Amino acid sequence: MSDVRPESMARITTKELADEFIAQQIKEIREQVGDKKVLLALSGGVDSSVVAALLIKAIGKQLYCVHVNHGLLRKGEPEQVIKVFKEEMDANLIYVDAVDRFLDKLAGVSDPETKRKIIGKEFIDVFVEEARKLDGIAYLAQGTIYPDILESKDGIKAHHNVGGLPEDLNFELVEPVKLLYKDEVRVVGKALGLPEGMVERQPFPGPGLGVRCVGAITRDRLEAVRESDAILREEFAAAGLQGKVWQYFTVVPDFKSTGIRDGKRTFDWPVIIRAINTTDAIKVTVEEIPYSLLYKIRDRILTEVKGVNRVLYDITPKPVATIEYE
């Protein structure tokens, strides 16, 4: 499959178009893969989950899903991946706890592109190790989508998915959704029968919370990102905003400011809330969140998250800002 979306390709907006796409992909995947084994990085996000479901449909247990816990996942995520794919879909799922390994490599690294590259490379290394434990892996499946390809071509940011494999491991890539936009991936996911909650899940970058723990990642600040993100998601769900707001998350920048708590001076981090709407992740507007909800989230963050003394709301569209901070 070429990396350029043909102009004649209709936008997948209906179940019928999705079914056509799925049938075509199943055929192509079977032709490409034959009886060989495929390794897939299953993060649990929409893209890799849809790719997993497509591959399970096409080749069943020839697919080996590897879920790498790199320590940059959202709260509760590794547990959910295991539940959905291992217990409910009966997939071959290998869980790798690589938390210390990733965080040790990232210690002291503040440059965003370097962080991305370290995470990407470490990912590949983990896969290579898993592949070497398995016999006869020939393919590496990936949840690359079209915006990834466009933006890495334009040099806006390094595309986390494509990394160099050692020459002795000639994995060929299987990227069945690489010409699709995000909204199309969701339509395909629904047509594949994936649970609504998974298909409608907001996008999550490959480098995970790493790009939201701005600058050099420390374990305590990373926990502040993870805990505040969990609170934000819980409160958005309680307010009925889940599935209505395209992407929402928190960011903890690498600076502190003065505050006061229980009559004593504090010097702590701010938590920045970002909540945006878009159809294609290219042009983005900011969601108008009611102040009452923002106040509720603020109060919970200030009470429950350690090391935080301010909560801010980012009102910047894309362009000028990107969605993520790094």
Closer CB to ligand XMP, 37 or 116, in the complex: 116
Backbone angles phi, psi at 114, to 5 degrees: -65, -40
The 131-160 contact track toward ligand XMP, x by CB under 6 A, reads -----------------------------x
Closer CB to ligand XMP, 27 or 244, in the complex: 244
DSSP β-bridge partners for residue 257: 268
State in angstroms the smallest separation of the CB of 239 from ligand XMP: 21
- Checking DSSP bridges between strand 63-69 and strand 264-277, what pairing results, if any? unpaired
Q: What part of residues 303-322 is at the interface with ligand XMP (CB under 6 A)? A: 318, 322
- Checking DSSP bridges between strand 264-277 and strand 257-261, what pairing results, if any? antiparallel
Helices (H) and strands (E) in the chain, counts: 10, 10
Q: What part of residues 213-242 is at the interface with ligand XMP (CB under 6 A)? A: none
Tell me the window of 126-134, 199-207, 217-225, 254-262 that interacts with ligand XMP (CB under 6 A).
199-207
State in angstroms the smallest separation of the CB of 26 from ligand XMP: 24
Tokens of 291: 């102040």
Closer CB to ligand XMP, 130 or 324, in the complex: 324
CA dist list (Å): 132 to 66, 166, 233: 13, 12, 38
DSSP β-bridge partners for residue 174: 141
State in angstroms the smallest separation of the CB of 162 from ligand XMP: 11
Q: Is 178 in the site for ligand XMP (CB under 6 A)?
A: no
State in angstroms the smallest separation of the CB of 130 from ligand XMP: 20
Q: Is 247 in the site for ligand XMP (CB under 6 A)?
A: yes
State in angstroms the smallest separation of the CB of 270 from ligand XMP: 19
State in angstroms the smallest separation of the CB of 19 from ligand XMP: 26
End-to-end distance of the chain based on CA atoms, in angstroms?
30
**Residue 157, CB-side half-sphere exposure with 13 Å CA sphere:** 22
State in angstroms the smallest separation of the CB of 121 from ligand XMP: 13
Q: Is 205 in the site for ligand XMP (CB under 6 A)?
A: yes
Which contacts qualify for 163-171: CB closer than 8 Å, 24 or more apart? 163/120, 163/121, 163/123, 163/124, 164/124, 165/124, 165/128, 165/140, 166/128, 169/128, 169/131, 169/132, 170/138, 171/39, 171/131, 171/137, 171/138, 171/139, 171/140
Closer CB to ligand XMP, 202 or 309, in the complex: 202
List, in order, residues 6 or more apart from 288 with CB less than 8 Å away: none
Tell me the window of 72-80, 85-93, 204-212, 289-297 that interacts with ligand XMP (CB under 6 A).
204-212
| Of positions 203, 210, 214, 274, contacts ligand XMP by CB under 6 A | 203
Rounded Cα distance between 301 and 134, Å, is 44
**Residue 187, CB-side half-sphere exposure with 13 Å CA sphere:** 18
Closer CB to ligand XMP, 159 or 298, in the complex: 159
Q: Is the peptide bond before 319 cis (omega within 30 degrees of 0)?
A: yes
The 269-298 contact track toward ligand XMP, x by CB under 6 A, reads ------------x-----------------
Query: Where does this chain bind ligand XMP (CB under 6 A)?
Result: 160, 203, 205-207, 247, 281, 318, 322-324
